[in-house]
Structure 1
Protein backbone atom coordinates (compact mmCIF):
# COMPACT_ATOMS: atom_id res chain seq x y z
CA UNK A 1 0.00 0.00 0.00
CA UNK A 2 1.25 3.49 -0.84
CA UNK A 3 0.23 6.59 1.09
CA UNK A 4 0.44 10.11 -0.34
CA UNK A 5 0.01 13.22 1.79
CA UNK A 6 -2.47 15.56 0.12
CA UNK A 7 -0.86 19.00 -0.06
CA UNK A 8 -2.56 22.16 1.11
CA UNK A 9 -3.89 23.90 -1.99
CA UNK A 10 -4.39 27.67 -2.27
CA UNK A 11 -8.10 28.22 -1.76
CA UNK A 12 -10.36 30.68 -3.50
CA UNK A 13 -13.56 32.06 -2.05
CA UNK A 14 -16.53 31.08 -4.16
CA UNK A 15 -19.40 33.43 -4.93
CA UNK A 16 -22.40 31.34 -5.94
CA UNK A 17 -25.16 33.03 -7.92
CA UNK A 18 -28.74 32.51 -6.87
CA UNK A 19 -30.84 30.32 -9.14
CA UNK A 20 -34.60 29.97 -9.15
CA UNK A 21 -35.54 26.80 -7.22
CA UNK A 22 -38.63 26.31 -9.38
CA UNK A 23 -37.62 27.11 -12.94
CA UNK A 24 -33.83 26.71 -12.63
CA UNK A 25 -33.28 30.06 -14.38
CA UNK A 26 -30.99 32.73 -12.98
CA UNK A 27 -32.74 35.54 -11.14
CA UNK A 28 -32.98 38.73 -13.20
CA UNK A 29 -30.47 41.48 -12.44
CA UNK A 30 -31.44 43.38 -9.34
CA UNK A 31 -33.99 40.81 -8.25
CA UNK A 32 -33.97 37.75 -6.06
CA UNK A 33 -31.60 36.86 -3.23
CA UNK A 34 -27.99 38.13 -3.26
CA UNK A 35 -25.17 35.73 -4.17
CA UNK A 36 -23.89 33.28 -1.57
CA UNK A 37 -20.42 34.52 -0.61
CA UNK A 38 -17.94 33.85 2.18
CA UNK A 39 -19.30 30.38 2.88
CA UNK A 40 -17.46 27.98 0.53
CA UNK A 41 -13.72 27.93 -0.27
CA UNK A 42 -12.15 25.61 -2.83
CA UNK A 43 -8.58 24.54 -3.50
CA UNK A 44 -7.93 22.83 -6.81
CA UNK A 45 -8.81 20.65 -8.51
CA UNK A 46 -5.17 19.64 -8.97
CA UNK A 47 -3.88 16.61 -10.82
CA UNK A 48 -0.79 14.51 -11.42
CA UNK A 49 -0.11 11.45 -13.56
CA UNK A 50 0.37 8.14 -11.76
CA UNK A 51 3.58 6.74 -13.18
CA UNK A 52 5.64 3.57 -12.74
CA UNK A 53 8.01 5.51 -10.49
CA UNK A 54 5.19 6.69 -8.26
CA UNK A 55 4.12 3.15 -7.32
CA UNK A 56 7.56 1.52 -7.36
CA UNK A 57 7.58 1.08 -3.55
CA UNK A 58 4.69 -1.44 -3.75
CA UNK A 59 5.75 -4.42 -5.91
CA UNK A 60 2.20 -5.74 -6.45
CA UNK A 61 0.84 -2.32 -7.38
CA UNK A 62 3.88 -1.65 -9.58
CA UNK A 63 3.27 -4.89 -11.47
CA UNK A 64 -0.38 -3.98 -11.98
CA UNK A 65 0.49 -0.49 -13.26
CA UNK A 66 3.17 -1.93 -15.54
CA UNK A 67 0.54 -4.11 -17.22
CA UNK A 68 -2.12 -1.39 -17.31
CA UNK A 69 0.10 1.29 -18.86
CA UNK A 70 0.07 -0.75 -22.06
CA UNK A 71 -3.56 0.26 -22.47
CA UNK A 72 -4.44 3.10 -20.10
CA UNK A 73 -3.11 6.23 -18.40
CA UNK A 74 -3.96 7.02 -14.79
CA UNK A 75 -4.16 10.31 -12.90
CA UNK A 76 -4.69 11.38 -9.32
CA UNK A 77 -7.07 14.36 -9.08
CA UNK A 78 -7.57 15.99 -5.68
CA UNK A 79 -9.10 19.10 -4.17
CA UNK A 80 -9.72 20.73 -0.80
CA UNK A 81 -13.07 22.25 0.15
CA UNK A 82 -13.80 24.30 3.28
CA UNK A 83 -17.12 25.51 4.65
CA UNK A 84 -17.22 28.52 6.96
CA UNK A 85 -19.19 28.12 10.17
CA UNK A 86 -20.05 31.83 10.18
CA UNK A 87 -22.39 33.42 9.48
CA UNK A 88 -24.61 30.85 11.14
CA UNK A 89 -27.65 31.83 9.09
CA UNK A 90 -28.85 30.90 6.62
CA UNK A 91 -27.58 27.38 7.28
CA UNK A 92 -26.14 25.39 4.41
CA UNK A 93 -28.51 22.52 3.67
CA UNK A 94 -26.57 20.89 0.84
CA UNK A 95 -23.37 21.41 -1.14
CA UNK A 96 -22.42 19.47 -4.26
CA UNK A 97 -19.18 19.38 -6.23
CA UNK A 98 -19.90 18.16 -9.76
CA UNK A 99 -16.79 17.30 -11.78
CA UNK A 100 -16.69 16.69 -15.51
CA UNK A 101 -13.82 14.68 -16.96
CA UNK A 102 -12.91 15.14 -20.60
CA UNK A 103 -10.15 14.34 -23.07
CA UNK A 104 -9.18 15.38 -26.57
CA UNK A 105 -9.25 13.37 -29.75
CA UNK A 106 -11.31 10.37 -30.72
CA UNK A 107 -10.85 8.56 -27.42
CA UNK A 108 -13.38 7.16 -24.99
CA UNK A 109 -14.36 9.29 -22.00
CA UNK A 110 -12.14 9.13 -18.92
CA UNK A 111 -13.79 7.70 -15.81
CA UNK A 112 -13.39 8.10 -12.05
CA UNK A 113 -12.02 4.66 -11.26
CA UNK A 114 -11.96 5.23 -7.49
CA UNK A 115 -13.05 8.05 -5.13
CA UNK A 116 -12.38 8.97 -1.51
CA UNK A 117 -14.06 9.65 0.86
CA UNK A 118 -16.80 7.34 -0.40
CA UNK A 119 -19.12 8.07 2.50
CA UNK A 120 -19.12 9.81 5.88
CA UNK A 121 -22.02 9.32 8.25
CA UNK A 122 -22.46 11.80 11.09
CA UNK A 123 -18.74 12.31 11.63
CA UNK A 124 -16.39 15.15 10.73
CA UNK A 125 -13.38 13.53 9.07
CA UNK A 126 -10.17 15.46 8.44
CA UNK A 127 -8.07 13.48 6.01
CA UNK A 128 -4.59 14.64 5.07
CA UNK A 129 -3.53 11.66 2.97
CA UNK A 130 -4.76 9.21 0.37
CA UNK A 131 -3.92 5.50 0.42
CA UNK A 132 -3.62 3.38 -2.70
CA UNK A 133 -4.71 -0.22 -2.39
CA UNK A 134 -4.75 -2.98 -5.03
CA UNK A 135 -5.45 -1.89 -8.62
CA UNK A 136 -5.06 1.81 -7.67
CA UNK A 137 -8.16 1.70 -5.47
CA UNK A 138 -8.27 4.59 -3.01
CA UNK A 139 -8.74 3.42 0.57
CA UNK A 140 -10.88 5.47 2.95
CA UNK A 141 -9.41 6.36 6.33
CA UNK A 142 -11.61 4.96 9.07
CA UNK A 143 -13.86 7.54 10.69
CA UNK A 144 -15.61 7.47 14.03
CA UNK A 145 -19.32 7.16 13.46
CA UNK A 146 -21.74 9.20 15.52
CA UNK A 147 -25.35 8.33 16.18
CA UNK A 148 -28.30 10.36 14.98
CA UNK A 149 -30.86 8.60 17.11
CA UNK A 150 -30.93 5.56 19.32
CA UNK A 151 -33.71 3.21 20.25
CA UNK A 152 -33.88 -0.12 22.01
CA UNK A 153 -33.85 -1.94 18.69
CA UNK A 154 -31.41 -0.17 16.37
CA UNK A 155 -29.05 2.74 15.76
CA UNK A 156 -29.82 5.09 12.87
CA UNK A 157 -27.30 7.19 11.00
CA UNK A 158 -27.62 9.81 8.27
CA UNK A 159 -25.23 10.24 5.36
CA UNK A 160 -23.30 13.51 5.61
CA UNK A 161 -20.96 13.10 2.62
CA UNK A 162 -21.26 10.69 -0.28
CA UNK A 163 -19.30 10.06 -3.49
CA UNK A 164 -21.61 9.48 -6.44
CA UNK A 165 -21.29 8.36 -10.08
CA UNK A 166 -18.06 6.42 -9.75
CA UNK A 167 -16.91 4.71 -12.98
CA UNK A 168 -18.38 7.59 -14.97
CA UNK A 169 -17.03 10.82 -16.44
CA UNK A 170 -19.24 13.01 -14.22
CA UNK A 171 -18.30 12.07 -10.61
CA UNK A 172 -19.81 14.04 -7.72
CA UNK A 173 -19.36 14.56 -4.00
CA UNK A 174 -22.51 15.58 -2.16
CA UNK A 175 -22.63 17.10 1.35
CA UNK A 176 -25.93 17.11 3.22
CA UNK A 177 -26.64 18.64 6.64
CA UNK A 178 -27.87 16.06 9.13
CA UNK A 179 -29.58 16.31 12.50
CA UNK A 180 -26.22 16.20 14.26
CA UNK A 181 -23.83 17.79 11.72
CA UNK A 182 -23.74 21.17 10.02
CA UNK A 183 -21.85 21.61 6.76
CA UNK A 184 -18.66 23.19 8.13
CA UNK A 185 -14.96 22.42 8.34
CA UNK A 186 -12.34 21.34 5.81
CA UNK A 187 -12.32 18.19 3.66
CA UNK A 188 -9.89 16.56 1.24
CA UNK A 189 -11.37 14.82 -1.81
CA UNK A 190 -9.47 12.65 -4.28
CA UNK A 191 -10.06 10.30 -7.18
CA UNK A 192 -8.09 8.11 -9.55
CA UNK A 193 -8.99 8.80 -13.18
CA UNK A 194 -8.45 6.23 -15.93
CA UNK A 195 -8.28 7.14 -19.60
CA UNK A 196 -6.83 5.72 -22.79
CA UNK A 197 -3.07 5.45 -23.04
CA UNK A 198 -1.23 8.76 -23.58
CA UNK A 199 -4.49 10.75 -23.43
CA UNK A 200 -4.41 13.95 -21.39
CA UNK A 201 -7.46 14.84 -19.33
CA UNK A 202 -9.41 17.99 -18.53
CA UNK A 203 -11.38 18.56 -15.33
CA UNK A 204 -14.12 21.15 -14.83
CA UNK A 205 -15.97 21.77 -11.58
CA UNK A 206 -19.41 23.18 -10.78
CA UNK A 207 -20.39 23.88 -7.18
CA UNK A 208 -24.06 23.93 -6.19
CA UNK A 209 -25.39 24.75 -2.71
CA UNK A 210 -28.68 25.29 -0.99
CA UNK A 211 -29.55 27.15 2.20
CA UNK A 212 -32.52 26.66 4.48
CA UNK A 213 -34.05 29.56 6.35
CA UNK A 214 -37.64 30.58 5.89
CA UNK A 215 -37.25 29.36 2.32
CA UNK A 216 -35.03 26.87 0.52
CA UNK A 217 -32.64 28.77 -1.75
CA UNK A 218 -30.33 27.34 -4.43
CA UNK A 219 -26.98 28.71 -5.66
CA UNK A 220 -24.41 27.69 -8.25
CA UNK A 221 -20.95 28.61 -9.57
CA UNK A 222 -19.03 27.03 -12.42
CA UNK A 223 -15.28 27.35 -12.00
CA UNK A 224 -13.10 28.66 -14.79
CA UNK A 225 -11.16 25.89 -16.44
CA UNK A 226 -10.77 23.19 -17.27
CA UNK A 227 -7.75 21.94 -15.38
CA UNK A 228 -5.49 20.21 -17.90
CA UNK A 229 -3.38 17.24 -16.80
CA UNK A 230 -0.90 15.70 -19.24
CA UNK A 231 0.53 12.22 -19.17
CA UNK A 232 4.14 11.48 -18.22
CA UNK A 233 5.32 7.89 -18.78
Structure 2
Protein backbone atom coordinates (compact mmCIF):
# COMPACT_ATOMS: atom_id res chain seq x y z
CA UNK A 1 0.00 0.00 0.00
CA UNK A 2 1.18 3.52 -0.77
CA UNK A 3 -0.21 6.90 0.31
CA UNK A 4 -0.76 9.78 -2.11
CA UNK A 5 -1.45 13.41 -1.39
CA UNK A 6 -4.82 14.46 -2.84
CA UNK A 7 -4.37 18.08 -3.98
CA UNK A 8 -7.37 20.23 -4.90
CA UNK A 9 -7.26 22.95 -7.57
CA UNK A 10 -9.29 26.19 -7.36
CA UNK A 11 -12.95 25.56 -8.09
CA UNK A 12 -15.29 27.18 -10.59
CA UNK A 13 -18.75 28.26 -9.39
CA UNK A 14 -21.77 27.74 -11.62
CA UNK A 15 -25.03 29.69 -11.86
CA UNK A 16 -27.95 27.29 -12.19
CA UNK A 17 -30.96 27.82 -14.46
CA UNK A 18 -34.03 25.59 -14.52
CA UNK A 19 -35.52 24.04 -17.63
CA UNK A 20 -39.13 25.36 -17.82
CA UNK A 21 -40.22 22.22 -19.69
CA UNK A 22 -39.21 20.02 -16.75
CA UNK A 23 -40.60 21.99 -13.80
CA UNK A 24 -43.15 19.79 -12.06
CA UNK A 25 -45.31 22.58 -10.65
CA UNK A 26 -45.62 26.15 -11.86
CA UNK A 27 -44.24 28.85 -9.60
CA UNK A 28 -44.14 32.62 -9.76
CA UNK A 29 -40.37 32.83 -9.47
CA UNK A 30 -38.14 32.96 -12.54
CA UNK A 31 -35.97 30.20 -14.00
CA UNK A 32 -32.69 31.35 -12.41
CA UNK A 33 -31.95 29.53 -9.15
CA UNK A 34 -30.20 31.11 -6.18
CA UNK A 35 -28.35 27.90 -5.28
CA UNK A 36 -24.87 27.31 -6.68
CA UNK A 37 -22.45 24.47 -7.21
CA UNK A 38 -18.67 24.64 -7.38
CA UNK A 39 -16.50 22.14 -9.25
CA UNK A 40 -12.71 22.01 -9.30
CA UNK A 41 -10.70 20.74 -12.28
CA UNK A 42 -9.01 17.44 -11.46
CA UNK A 43 -5.52 17.51 -10.00
CA UNK A 44 -3.67 14.80 -11.94
CA UNK A 45 -0.75 12.71 -10.67
CA UNK A 46 0.68 10.25 -13.25
CA UNK A 47 1.46 6.99 -11.48
CA UNK A 48 4.95 5.76 -12.27
CA UNK A 49 7.38 3.19 -10.97
CA UNK A 50 9.00 5.70 -8.62
CA UNK A 51 5.74 6.07 -6.66
CA UNK A 52 5.36 2.33 -6.10
CA UNK A 53 8.45 2.02 -3.94
CA UNK A 54 9.01 -1.31 -2.20
CA UNK A 55 5.42 -2.59 -2.29
CA UNK A 56 5.91 -6.04 -3.85
CA UNK A 57 2.25 -6.61 -4.75
CA UNK A 58 1.90 -3.24 -6.48
CA UNK A 59 5.22 -3.70 -8.26
CA UNK A 60 4.10 -7.07 -9.68
CA UNK A 61 0.85 -5.51 -10.92
CA UNK A 62 2.71 -2.56 -12.40
CA UNK A 63 5.18 -4.74 -14.29
CA UNK A 64 2.33 -6.78 -15.79
CA UNK A 65 0.23 -3.75 -16.83
CA UNK A 66 2.68 -0.97 -17.67
CA UNK A 67 3.61 -2.31 -21.10
CA UNK A 68 0.22 -1.40 -22.57
CA UNK A 69 -1.39 1.05 -20.15
CA UNK A 70 -0.66 4.17 -18.12
CA UNK A 71 -2.41 5.07 -14.86
CA UNK A 72 -3.31 8.50 -13.46
CA UNK A 73 -4.59 9.52 -10.03
CA UNK A 74 -7.28 12.24 -10.19
CA UNK A 75 -8.68 14.23 -7.26
CA UNK A 76 -11.27 17.01 -7.24
CA UNK A 77 -14.12 18.48 -5.17
CA UNK A 78 -17.80 19.02 -5.95
CA UNK A 79 -19.52 21.54 -3.65
CA UNK A 80 -23.26 22.04 -3.16
CA UNK A 81 -24.29 25.53 -1.97
CA UNK A 82 -28.07 25.52 -1.40
CA UNK A 83 -29.77 28.90 -1.01
CA UNK A 84 -32.53 29.70 1.48
CA UNK A 85 -35.78 28.11 0.36
CA UNK A 86 -34.05 25.68 -2.02
CA UNK A 87 -32.58 22.24 -1.46
CA UNK A 88 -30.65 19.87 -3.68
CA UNK A 89 -32.63 16.64 -4.06
CA UNK A 90 -30.43 14.62 -6.40
CA UNK A 91 -27.30 15.10 -8.49
CA UNK A 92 -25.28 13.08 -10.98
CA UNK A 93 -21.63 13.72 -11.82
CA UNK A 94 -20.49 11.84 -14.92
CA UNK A 95 -16.86 11.57 -16.02
CA UNK A 96 -16.47 10.87 -19.74
CA UNK A 97 -13.23 9.75 -21.40
CA UNK A 98 -12.51 9.88 -25.14
CA UNK A 99 -9.37 8.45 -26.75
CA UNK A 100 -10.49 8.59 -30.39
CA UNK A 101 -10.28 4.79 -30.63
CA UNK A 102 -13.15 2.67 -29.32
CA UNK A 103 -10.87 -0.39 -29.21
CA UNK A 104 -8.47 1.38 -26.83
CA UNK A 105 -10.63 3.15 -24.22
CA UNK A 106 -9.66 4.94 -21.04
CA UNK A 107 -11.62 3.63 -18.06
CA UNK A 108 -12.22 4.30 -14.37
CA UNK A 109 -10.03 1.66 -12.74
CA UNK A 110 -11.02 2.64 -9.19
CA UNK A 111 -13.45 5.18 -7.68
CA UNK A 112 -13.64 6.75 -4.22
CA UNK A 113 -16.02 6.94 -2.51
CA UNK A 114 -17.70 3.78 -3.75
CA UNK A 115 -20.57 4.68 -1.41
CA UNK A 116 -21.39 6.90 1.55
CA UNK A 117 -24.40 5.98 3.66
CA UNK A 118 -26.12 6.71 6.96
CA UNK A 119 -27.45 3.82 9.03
CA UNK A 120 -31.02 4.66 10.06
CA UNK A 121 -32.89 2.82 12.81
CA UNK A 122 -36.35 1.60 11.83
CA UNK A 123 -39.04 0.33 14.18
CA UNK A 124 -42.49 -1.21 13.91
CA UNK A 125 -43.60 0.16 17.27
CA UNK A 126 -43.82 3.55 18.96
CA UNK A 127 -44.09 4.65 22.58
CA UNK A 128 -45.89 7.67 23.98
CA UNK A 129 -44.69 9.64 26.98
CA UNK A 130 -46.18 12.43 29.07
CA UNK A 131 -48.19 14.94 27.06
CA UNK A 132 -48.58 12.42 24.20
CA UNK A 133 -44.97 12.97 23.16
CA UNK A 134 -43.32 10.33 21.00
CA UNK A 135 -40.23 9.03 22.74
CA UNK A 136 -36.96 8.36 20.92
CA UNK A 137 -35.85 4.87 19.95
CA UNK A 138 -33.23 4.72 22.66
CA UNK A 139 -35.86 5.48 25.33
CA UNK A 140 -38.63 3.16 24.22
CA UNK A 141 -37.48 0.20 22.18
CA UNK A 142 -35.56 -2.99 22.81
CA UNK A 143 -32.93 -4.23 20.39
CA UNK A 144 -35.21 -6.95 19.05
CA UNK A 145 -37.69 -4.31 17.85
CA UNK A 146 -35.20 -2.24 15.87
CA UNK A 147 -33.50 -2.87 12.55
CA UNK A 148 -31.14 -0.68 10.54
CA UNK A 149 -31.28 0.41 6.92
CA UNK A 150 -28.53 2.16 4.97
CA UNK A 151 -29.59 5.43 3.32
CA UNK A 152 -27.06 6.12 0.57
CA UNK A 153 -26.01 9.74 0.06
CA UNK A 154 -23.38 8.94 -2.60
CA UNK A 155 -22.90 5.85 -4.77
CA UNK A 156 -20.48 5.15 -7.62
CA UNK A 157 -21.63 3.43 -10.82
CA UNK A 158 -20.09 2.05 -14.04
CA UNK A 159 -16.70 1.19 -12.61
CA UNK A 160 -14.27 -0.02 -15.32
CA UNK A 161 -16.12 1.95 -18.00
CA UNK A 162 -15.38 5.07 -20.07
CA UNK A 163 -18.39 6.92 -18.60
CA UNK A 164 -18.45 6.30 -14.83
CA UNK A 165 -20.60 8.45 -12.58
CA UNK A 166 -21.52 9.24 -8.99
CA UNK A 167 -25.14 9.64 -7.89
CA UNK A 168 -25.92 11.93 -4.93
CA UNK A 169 -29.23 12.17 -3.09
CA UNK A 170 -30.69 13.99 -0.13
CA UNK A 171 -31.94 11.72 2.64
CA UNK A 172 -34.20 12.46 5.63
CA UNK A 173 -31.10 12.49 7.84
CA UNK A 174 -28.58 14.23 5.55
CA UNK A 175 -28.91 17.35 3.40
CA UNK A 176 -27.07 17.50 0.10
CA UNK A 177 -24.71 20.38 0.89
CA UNK A 178 -21.03 21.16 1.39
CA UNK A 179 -17.90 19.59 -0.10
CA UNK A 180 -17.60 16.09 -1.54
CA UNK A 181 -14.01 14.98 -2.25
CA UNK A 182 -13.90 12.60 -5.24
CA UNK A 183 -10.95 10.51 -6.40
CA UNK A 184 -10.32 8.16 -9.27
CA UNK A 185 -7.60 5.99 -10.78
CA UNK A 186 -7.82 6.13 -14.58
CA UNK A 187 -6.32 3.47 -16.82
CA UNK A 188 -5.55 4.76 -20.30
CA UNK A 189 -3.68 3.53 -23.40
CA UNK A 190 0.04 4.12 -23.10
CA UNK A 191 0.42 5.55 -26.61
CA UNK A 192 -2.32 8.20 -26.66
CA UNK A 193 -3.79 11.08 -24.70
CA UNK A 194 -7.31 11.28 -23.34
CA UNK A 195 -9.90 14.05 -23.44
CA UNK A 196 -11.94 14.05 -20.24
CA UNK A 197 -15.11 15.87 -19.29
CA UNK A 198 -17.18 16.36 -16.14
CA UNK A 199 -20.96 16.76 -16.53
CA UNK A 200 -23.17 17.59 -13.53
CA UNK A 201 -26.96 17.36 -13.57
CA UNK A 202 -29.17 18.36 -10.66
CA UNK A 203 -32.68 18.29 -9.27
CA UNK A 204 -33.61 21.09 -6.86
CA UNK A 205 -36.73 21.66 -4.77
CA UNK A 206 -37.92 25.21 -4.15
CA UNK A 207 -40.16 25.99 -1.19
CA UNK A 208 -41.96 29.32 -0.89
CA UNK A 209 -44.54 30.43 1.69
CA UNK A 210 -45.46 26.79 2.38
CA UNK A 211 -48.03 27.08 -0.42
CA UNK A 212 -46.31 25.27 -3.25
CA UNK A 213 -43.28 23.25 -4.09
CA UNK A 214 -41.51 22.96 -7.40
CA UNK A 215 -38.79 20.67 -8.62
CA UNK A 216 -36.34 22.06 -11.17
CA UNK A 217 -33.85 20.24 -13.36
CA UNK A 218 -31.04 22.02 -15.16
CA UNK A 219 -31.54 22.75 -18.84
CA UNK A 220 -27.88 21.96 -19.53
CA UNK A 221 -25.29 20.24 -17.34
CA UNK A 222 -22.47 22.16 -15.74
CA UNK A 223 -19.44 20.95 -17.71
CA UNK A 224 -15.67 21.08 -17.34
CA UNK A 225 -13.05 19.56 -19.65
CA UNK A 226 -9.52 18.28 -18.99
CA UNK A 227 -6.70 16.37 -20.68
CA UNK A 228 -4.70 13.30 -19.61
CA UNK A 229 -1.43 12.14 -21.17
CA UNK A 230 0.71 13.64 -23.92
CA UNK A 231 -0.99 12.13 -26.94
1:178 to 167, 171, 176: 171
Q: CA RMSD in A?
A: 2.5
Name whichever of 207-216 and 52-61 sits farther off. 52-61
2:111 to 110, 115, 127: 115
> What SS does structure 2 have at the residue aligned with 1:54?
helix
TM-superposed CA distance for 1:41, in Å, is: 0.9
Asked whether 1:208 is paired with 2:201, we answer: yes
Distance in 2 (CA, whole Å) between partners of 1:97 and 1:149 is: 30
For residues 30-69 of structure 1, what are the structure 2 equivalents within 5 Å?
33-36=30-33, 38-69=35-66
CA deviation vs aligned residue, 1:74-95 (integer Å, no higher than 9, x gap): 11122111122x5232111011
Return closer, same or farther for 1:165/1:21 CA change in 2, 3 Å cut-off.
farther
> What SS does structure 2 have at the residue aligned with 1:169?
coil
> What SS does structure 2 have at the residue aligned with 1:99?
strand
Q: Which has the larger radius of gyration?
A: 2
TM-score normalised to structure 1 length: 0.76
Which 4+ runs in 1 deviate beyond 6 A?
A: none
Aligned 8 A contact 1:18 1:32 in 2: no
Return closer, same or farther for 1:38/1:92 CA change in 2, 3 Å cut-off.
closer
Aligned 8 A contact 1:16 1:221 in 2: no
> What SS does structure 1 have at the residue aligned with 2:175?
coil
Unpaired segments ≥5 residues, structure 1: 24-30, 123-145
Counterpart residue number, 1:13: 13
1:192 to 180, 185, 205: 185
TM-superposed CA distance for 1:117, in Å, is: 0.0
> What SS does structure 1 have at the residue aligned with 2:89?
strand
CA deviation vs aligned residue, 1:170-225 (integer Å, no higher than 9, x gap): 11111100010000121111111112222222210111111123021101434242
Distance in 2 (CA, whole Å) between partners of 1:149 and 1:62 is: 46
Aligned 8 A contact 1:17 1:221 in 2: no
Distance in 1 (CA, whole Å) between partners of 2:88 and 2:102 is: 41
Counterpart residue number, 1:169: 162
Unpaired segments ≥5 residues, structure 2: 125-144, 207-212
Structure whose residues are more often helix by fraction:
2
Distance in 2 (CA, whole Å) between partners of 1:208 and 1:95 is: 6
TM-score normalised to structure 2 length: 0.77
Distance in 1 (CA, whole Å) between partners of 2:101 and 2:161 is: 18
Distance in 2 (CA, whole Å) between partners of 1:22 and 1:116 is: 31
> What SS does structure 2 have at the residue aligned with 1:188?
strand
1:88 to 84, 87, 109: 84
Q: How many aligned positions are there?
A: 200
> What SS does structure 1 have at the residue aligned with 2:85?
coil
